Amino acid sequence: MSDYPHPIIAREGWPFIALAFIGAIAVHVYLGWAWAAFPWFIALVVLQFFRDPPRLIPTELGIVVSPADGRIVKVEVAHDPYLDREALKISVFMNVFNVHSNRSPVAGRVEKTWYFAGQFFNAALDKASLENERAAIHLRTSEGHDVTSVQVAGLVARRILCYAKEDQLLTRGERYGFIRFGSRVDVYLPTDAIARVAVGDIVSATETVLASFA
């Protein structure tokens, strides 16, 4: 995909990757391979964490794609605290080995954005959705469907990056944010949306269909 607008290694990771590799090289040069083995391992772990490969976007009409790589930990009817409504909630938990670039689950206009500083509980816990650091966007599709996508920091994550702005038009699967070092994304949909994943499923950002609109 030559028109992919982002590097294979996410730009958010460049400073971390540079520091990790400089440290590994320095230890290797001054102390030798035996001492440098662990720093090199850490450098490779950091490199893989910030990978950001291009994804194929499904063309099926009326679908919601996964905003993140990971494992489905919630598929339930729950209260959407951002739009104050009952909604179908689907949560994707990302571990440190997943790609942490976040993609828009639908094509639509960004109606509103929120940011809340918070705690750093394990992102797999229910209370993380309401108590951890988080950033949310409200998207409205051209068909009038309201979708809330919420980036939630995790136990290790300490920085949510959300680039979406109010009135911005996002395309399905468009990259709009990044969470560093472990996290989750909650998606709130109209209650008549039909879930196409189940708890425990492994999903890929953009390429996996989470739900479809009735």
Known catalytic membership, residue 101: no
CB 182 within 8 Å of CB 45: no
Cα separation, 173 vs 129, whole angstroms: 22
Residue indicated by tokens 């300490």: 158
Identify the active-site residue in 66, 91, 183, 204. 183
CA neighbours closer than 13 Å in the CB half-sphere of residue 142: 8
Q: How many helices (H) and strands (E) does the chain have?
A: 3, 14
Q: How is 99-130 classified by DSSP, letter by letter?
A: --EEE-SS-EEEEEEEEE--B---TTSTTHHH
Strands 169-170 and 134-140: unpaired
How far is Cα 55 from Cα 185, in angstroms, rounded to an integer? 18
Residues with active-site annotation: 183
